[in-house]
């Protein structure tokens, strides 16, 4: 159950944000209101992402004006969003560890080291081929966005 996954403080913070935007007090917020709530909590979803959030089975209900979400569904949604942010922070941290001299990119040799740690014994040429498939116009330097693309593609 969602209440087991979040702390009392998180639940309180989510509730305060939720009720601020539940204008009519019916226990539901619309897509437009959800957008405002998400932005107030530091997230920046697109309109398509908002529609998907409400419709993705977080106990939202579709209406003629684009859907609504209740408090429990909102908590489920925010918990997922927090996990996404944690994952991104872990990727950034991993990239920083590899980019020890802080040049802003890593090389195929450094990426080969990552692959070995992940159980893929690839040499530099194999990594170069893999990277070239994931990054168009690859010139030997793997920047953070490319690093994420490679990890998600494999």
From residue 59, alpha-carbon distances to 11, 43, 55, 56, 77 in Å are 17, 20, 8, 8, 10
Structural domains of the chain, ranges and CATH numbers in brackets: 2-83 (1.10.238.10), 99-153 (1.10.238.10)
pLDDT band at residue 26 using 50, 70 and 90 as cut-offs: confident
Cβ-proximal residues to 33 (8 Å cutoff; 6+ apart), any chain: 21, 22, 23
- Whether the per-residue pLDDT at 1 is higher than 60: the answer is no
Q: Is the pLDDT of residue 127 over 60?
A: yes
Name the pTM for this structure: 0.48
How does residue 108 score in pLDDT terms, banded at 50, 70 and 90? confident
pLDDT of residue 154: 58
């Amino acid at each position: 159950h969602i209440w087991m996954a979040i702390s009392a403080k998180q639940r309180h913070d989510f509730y305060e944000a939720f009720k601020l935007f539940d204008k009519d007090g019916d226990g539901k917020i619309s897509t437009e209101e959800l957008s405002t709530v998400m932005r107030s909590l530091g997230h920046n979803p697109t309109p398509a992402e908002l529609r998907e959030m409400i419709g993705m089975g977080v106990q939202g209900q579709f209406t003629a004006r684009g859907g609504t979400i209740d408090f429990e569904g909102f908590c489920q949604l925010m918990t997922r969003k927090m996990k996404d942010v944690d994952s991104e922070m872990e990727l950034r941290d991993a990239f920083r560890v590899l980019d020890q001299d802080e040049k802003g990119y890593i090389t195929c040799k450094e990426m080969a080291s990552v692959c070995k740690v992940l159980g893929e014994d690839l040499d530099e040429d194999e990594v170069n081929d893999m990277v070239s498939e994931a990054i168009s116009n690859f010139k030997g330097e793997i920047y953070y966005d490319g690093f994420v693309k490679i990890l998600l593609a494999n």
